[in-house]
Amino acid sequence: MDQTTRPPGPLEPEKRGETADPGHPQPEAAEVESARLLANEAGAELTRAGLSDKEIRRLADEYVAMDRGEDLDGFIAWAKAQSRR
């Protein structure tokens, strides 16, 4: 199963609730740095795919918060699929 169709990880339900971006899970404090690194590493490729820096950061936060992991290639594929929705 590829990253674009893989379901969220087992911790995802715990991460839903009040957030700065309603409707989108936010990483826990310990995960924020991982999400930022992921956004930075994927930034150039996702910008070329038409995403803004703000969208990339939001998607990285959501990817990590949904317990999908921290895999760069997986995140890029997932983010591109999300942007086409």
Please give the average per-residue pLDDT across 20-24, as a whole number.
59
Position 74 scores a pLDDT of: 93
Please give the average per-residue pLDDT across 11-31, as a whole number.
64
> In the structure encoding, which two tokens stand for residue 78, read together?
């997932």
C-alpha–C-alpha distance, residues 69 and 52, integer Å: 22
C-alpha–C-alpha distance, residues 11 and 46, integer Å: 26
65 alpha-carbon distance from chain centroid: 7
pLDDT tier for residue 56 given thresholds of 50, 70 and 90: very high
C-alpha–C-alpha distance, residues 47 and 22, integer Å: 24
Domain-wise residue ranges, the chain = 22-83
Please give the average per-residue pLDDT across 9-32, as a whole number.
66
pLDDT digits (tens, 9 = 90+) for 25-52: 677 777 888 899 999 999 999 999 999 9
Q: Tell me the average pLDDT of the chain.
A: 82
Query: 10 pLDDT exceeds 90?
Result: no
